[in-house]
C-alpha cells in the first residue's frame, strides 16, 4: 500500500520557499505591531464549542467549524477564528491590566470551507486589537497600524483602499431617526449586506416588501447612495444625528492626524457582523478588479466580554489573513523573490582529509554569528559553485589538497570574484573578509 503524498484538502505544505514568504509576512507584521507597542499573545488550538456558539451563533458552528467530542466527552473545536479566545483571555485579566490593552496574534485557524482562490481550510491570520481606549483615537490608531503593515509590504494607495462605515450611523438612522422595530432593522441590515450583489430592481423590490413609510424608504435609499465623507456629513445633519456626526468627525480628524485618511473610502454597504460591531467598521480591498476580495476586515465592538458576564470593555480590531494577502502581494508583484535561502558561506573541501578542519573552522565562524552550509563530504571543484549558488551563499570556502598541506583555506566572494587564502586558525581574518 502506498500513502498519498498530497496534503489534506484545503491545507498547504510550506516547503522552504513558501515558508520564507510566510516568515516574511509575519516578520513584517510583527515589526510594525511592535512599532505601535502591541504585545504578542497566543491561545489554545482547541476551545469548547460553547465559546464559539456564544460569540457567533449556531450557523457558523453547524456549517463551518471542525468540531468533535474528545475522549473526555468535551465538545471541542479547532479554532476557526481568534476573537473568542481573545475574549476569554481578556476576560481573565482586564480588571487589573492598565488600559489601553494592545495585543496581536498570528494563529493558524481552520474552517470547513470549499477551497477556492483566496479561501482555504487552514490559514493564518494576524489579529490586532486595542481595548479600553477612547473610541475615535483607538479606531484611527488601529487603521494606521493596518495601513503601515501594508505600506511596509510595499503596498500603497495605488494598490489598496479601505472601505469604512460606522455602525452608529446605521443604528442612528434606523433607531433614533426612524424609530423602526427590531425585526425591520434586522431585515434592513440584510438588505444592506446584499445591496452590492443584486440589481437595482431587485434591491427596490426587497425594500418595497418591507412597507416602510415614504420618508423611511426615501432616507434609506438616500443612505445607500452616499458616496463620500461630505455626502455623509450632510446626510447626518439633515437627519438630526448630531452626536453621530460629531463622533464621526472626531474619528475623521484623528485619521488625518495618523495619515490614514487618504486610504479611506466611505461605503454605506459595509456593516459586518450584525450583533458584534458597534462603531467604525472597515474592510481593506485590493484595487485590482481581478482580485476583488476583502484583504482584511475589522471594526469597533463594545460587548465582547458579555458572554463571560463581565463589564463591557470597548475594543477595536482587525484580522488580516495570509492567503488573500499573499494573492494580493503576488498580483501586484510586491512579494520579494524568496525562492532561495540566504547564507553567508558555503564551506567545502575537495578532499575528505579536509573534513575535520572544515568542521572546526565552521564552528568558529558560527560562534561569530555567521550562517554556514558545510559540505559533509568532499565536493569536486566543478560542482562546488552550483551547490553554493543553490544554498544562497554569498561566499564559497574551498580546501583542496594544497590547502590541506598548507593548513589553509580559500574564501571567494561570489559577487565580486575576490578570492583570498587564510590560515585555518585565522578566524578573525575570515570573519572580516566575510562580513566586509
Number of residues counted as binding its own copies (CB under 8 A) = 91
- Cα–Cα dist 430/367, whole Å: 13
Instruction: Give the interface segment with its own copies, choosing from 230-238, 276-284, 351-359, 415-423 (CB under 8 A).
Output: 351-359
Task: Using CB under 8 A, pick the residue from 181, 213, 225, 259 that binds its own copies.
Answer: 259
Enter the C-alpha cell of residue 145. Answer: 497600524
Residue recorded with cell 520579494: 336
Closest CB to its own copies among 287 and 340? 340
- Encoded one letter per residue, x for contact with its own copies by CB under 8 A and - for no contact, window 170-209 reads ----------------------------------------
- Cα–Cα dist 85/87, whole Å: 5
Q: Which of residues 356-415 bind its own copies (CB under 8 A)?
A: 356, 359-360, 363, 366, 369-374, 376-377, 387, 390-391
- Encoded one letter per residue, x for contact with its own copies by CB under 8 A and - for no contact, window 48-87 reads x-xx--x-----------x-x-xxx-x-x-x------x--
- Encoded one letter per residue, x for contact with its own copies by CB under 8 A and - for no contact, window 281-320 reads --------------------------xxx-----------
Q: How far is the CB of 138 from its own copies (least distance, A)?
A: 6
The strands making up 75-78's β-sheet, listed across from edge to edge, are 46-48, 75-78, 67-69
Are 65 and 90 contacting, i.e. CB atoms less than 8 angstroms apart? Answer: no
Task: Using CB under 8 A, pick the residue from 21, 28, 29, 47 that binds its own copies.
Answer: 47
Closest CB to its own copies among 103 and 174? 103
- Cα–Cα dist 388/374, whole Å: 10
Query: What b/e sequence results for 10-35 when a residue is b if at least 16 CB atoms lie within 10 Å of its CB, and e otherwise?
Result: bebeeeeeeebbbebbeebbbebbee
Instruction: Please report whether residue 246 would count as binding its own copies according to CB under 8 A.
Output: no
- Cα–Cα dist 413/344, whole Å: 10
Enter the C-alpha cell of residue 278. Answer: 458597534
Task: Using CB under 8 A, pick the residue from 131, 248, 252, 258 that binds its own copies.
Answer: 258
Closest CB to its own copies among 102 and 412? 102
Closest CB to its own copies among 49 and 229? 49
- Cα–Cα dist 423/421, whole Å: 7
Q: Which of residues 4-23 bind its own copies (CB under 8 A)?
A: 4-5, 7-9, 11-16, 19-20, 22-23
Closest CB to its own copies among 139 and 267? 139
Q: Which contacts (CB < 8 Å, 24+ apart) does range 232-240 have?
A: 232/169, 232/266, 236/169, 236/172, 239/172, 239/173, 239/177, 240/177
Task: Using CB under 8 A, pick the residue from 57, 115, 117, 134 that binds its own copies.
Answer: 134
Amino acid at each position: 500500500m502506498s500513502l498519498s503524498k498530497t496534503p489534506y484538502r484545503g491545507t498547504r505544505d510550506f516547503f522552504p520557499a513558501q515558508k520564507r514568504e510566510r516568515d516574511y509576512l509575519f516578520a513584517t507584521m510583527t515589526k510594525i505591531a511592535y512599532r505601535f507597542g502591541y504585545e504578542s499573545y497566543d491561545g489554545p488550538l482547541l476551545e469548547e464549542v460553547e465559546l464559539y456558539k456564544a460569540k457567533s451563533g449556531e450557523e457558523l458552528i453547524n456549517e463551518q467549524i471542525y468540531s468533535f467530542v474528545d475522549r473526555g466527552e468535551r465538545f471541542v473545536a479547532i479554532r476557526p477564528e481568534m476573537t473568542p479566545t481573545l475574549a476569554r483571555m481578556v476576560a481573565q485579566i482586564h480588571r487589573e491590566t492598565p488600559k489601553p490593552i494592545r495585543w496581536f496574534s498570528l494563529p493558524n485557524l481552520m474552517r470547513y470551507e470549499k477551497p477556492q482562490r483566496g479561501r482555504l481550510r487552514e490559514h493564518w491570520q494576524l489579529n490586532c486589537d486595542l481595548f479600553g481606549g477612547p473610541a475615535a483615537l483607538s479606531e484611527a490608531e488601529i487603521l494606521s497600524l493596518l495601513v503601515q503593515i501594508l505600506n511596509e509590504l510595499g503596498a500603497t494607495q495605488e494598490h489598496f483602499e479601505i472601505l469604512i462605515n460606522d455602525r452608529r450611523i446605521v443604528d442612528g438612522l434606523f433607531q433614533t431617526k426612524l424609530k423602526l422595530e427590531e425585526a425591520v432593522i434586522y431585515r434592513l441590515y440584510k438588505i444592506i449586506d446584499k445591496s452590492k450583489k443584486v440589481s437595482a430592481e431587485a434591491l427596490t423590490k426587497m425594500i418595497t416588501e418591507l412597507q416602510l413609510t415614504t420618508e423611511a424608504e426615501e432616507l434609506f435609499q438616500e443612505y445607500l447612495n452616499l458616496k463620500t465623507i461630505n455626502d455623509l456629513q450632510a446626510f447626518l445633519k439633515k437627519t438630526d444625528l448630531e452626536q453621530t456626526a460629531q463622533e464621526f468627525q472626531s474619528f475623521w480628524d484623528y485619521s488625518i492626524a495618523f495619515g490614514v485618511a487618504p486610504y479611506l473610502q466611505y461605503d454605506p454597504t459595509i456593516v459586518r457582523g450584525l450583533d458584534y460591531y458597534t462603531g467604525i467598521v472597515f474592510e481593506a480591498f485590493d484595487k485590482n478588479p481581478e482580485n476583488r476580495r476583502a484583504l482584511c476586515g475589522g471594526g469597533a465592538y463594545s460587548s465582547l466580554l458579555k458572554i463571560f458576564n463581565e463589564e463591557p470593555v470597548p475594543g477595536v480590531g482587525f484580522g488580516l489573513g495570509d492567503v488573500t494577502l499573499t494573492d494580493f502581494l503576488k498580483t501586484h508583484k510586491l512579494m520579494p523573490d524568496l525562492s532561495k535561502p540566504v547564507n553567508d558561506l558555503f564551506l567545502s573541501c575537495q578532499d575528505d582529509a579536509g573534513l575535520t578542519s572544515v568542521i572546526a573552522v565552521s564552528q568558529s565562524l558560527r560562534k561569530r554569528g555567521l550562517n554556514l552550509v558545510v559540505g559533509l563530504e568532499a565536493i569536486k571543484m566543478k560542482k562546488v559553485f552550483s551547490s553554493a549558488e543553490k544554498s544562497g551563499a554569498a561566499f564559497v570556502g574551498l580546501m583542496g589538497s594544497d590547502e590541506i598541506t598548507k593548513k589553509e583555506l580559500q574564501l571567494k566572494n561570489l559577487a565580486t570574484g575576490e578570492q583570498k587564502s587564510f590560515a585555518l586558525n585565522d578566524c578573525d581574518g575570515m570573519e572580516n573578509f566575510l562580513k566586509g
